[in-house]
Amino acid sequence: MERREHSATRQRRRWLAALTLVAFAVALGCFGFAGALALGAQSPASQTRRSLPPPDAQAIARASAETKAVRARQMPRPVRIVIPAIAVSAPVIPLHLNRNRTLQVPKSFSQTGWFVGGPEPGENGAAVIVGHVDSKSGPAVFYRLRALRRGDVIKVVLKNKSTIRFIVQSTRRVPKKRFPTELVYGKTRGPTLRLITCDGRFDRSTGHYVDNHVVFAAAA
């Protein structure tokens, strides 16, 4: 078990090193939305998948350092998310970095994606799962995410078939230009979960929604 945990720690450090380079690229080339998420295929008139700018590297590095001493044991990766209040039961796929060091997006509008550079759900820290809001053919997996309210239940099924239960604490619509990186990716005392999709007005000149919708949840 100790060797496995050391291996996971080394892998997390490699991700953090890679993300340090990513942050610089995002600041230069992503419309100034460093640290924000811009999910693909937001426009009903377009189904073009766009790259997902990665989270702020420095914020993740700080959160990792602060929680390293109290991190829970290594958890299996998530494979499904279930949100009864909005009738969501969807696969969770791992999201890595593209060759240009942007974050991948789910290939299907019915899938969600977990950022592998952060903690697995159930580990100390903020696990991040993202999903599309809509597509050319209509609503996508997180279309009704805005309907979640405090007290709603989110279940994340792990690869070993165990289930981690989270309770929604709050939700927030945030402008991508002022994305609250520390609030979303910063240190948490225990296992927490962030669900993110796009929100607000669709800017046809950039091909992105101008806002994000973030759900904050804590392990029950």
Domains and CATH numbers, the chain: 2-219 (2.40.260.10)
Give Cα 16 to chain centroid, integer Å.
16
Is 13 strand, coil or helix? helix
Per-residue tokens: 190: 């225990």
Q: pTM, whole model, 2 decimals? A: 0.72
Report d(CA 57, CA 181) in Å as an integer: 10
Segment holding 191, helix H or strand E: strand 191-203
Confidence of residue 126 (pLDDT cuts 50, 70, 90): very high
To the nearest 10°, report the CA torsion of 141, 212, 82, 19: 100
pLDDT tens digits, one per residue of 90-123 = 999 999 877 776 667 788 999 999 989 889 999 9
pLDDT exceeds cutoff 80 at 154? yes
Segment holding 64, helix H or strand E: helix 57-67
Report d(CA 160, CA 46) in Å as an integer: 37
Q: Which of 163, 166, 74, 85 is nearest to 128 (CA)?
A: 166
- Where does 23-77 show beta strands of DSSP type E? none
Distances (CA, A) of 199 to 13, 146, 180, 208: 32, 9, 15, 10
Q: Specify the pLDDT at position 137.
A: 86
Q: Which of 62, 59, 96, 69 is nearest to 5 (CA)?
A: 69
pLDDT tens digits, one per residue of 44-58 = 333 333 334 445 545
Segment holding 2, helix H or strand E: helix 2-29
Report d(CA 36, CA 185) in Å as an integer: 11
Mean pLDDT of all residues belonging to the chain: 75
pLDDT exceeds cutoff 60 at 212? yes
Q: In this structure, are strands 78-83 and 88-95 parallel, antiparallel, or unpaired?
A: antiparallel
Report d(CA 105, CA 140) in Å as an integer: 13
Instruction: Give, in degrees to the nearest 5, the angle at Cα 193 between 169 and 31.
Output: 105
Over pLDDT 70: what percentage of the chain? 65
Over pLDDT 90: what percentage of the chain? 43
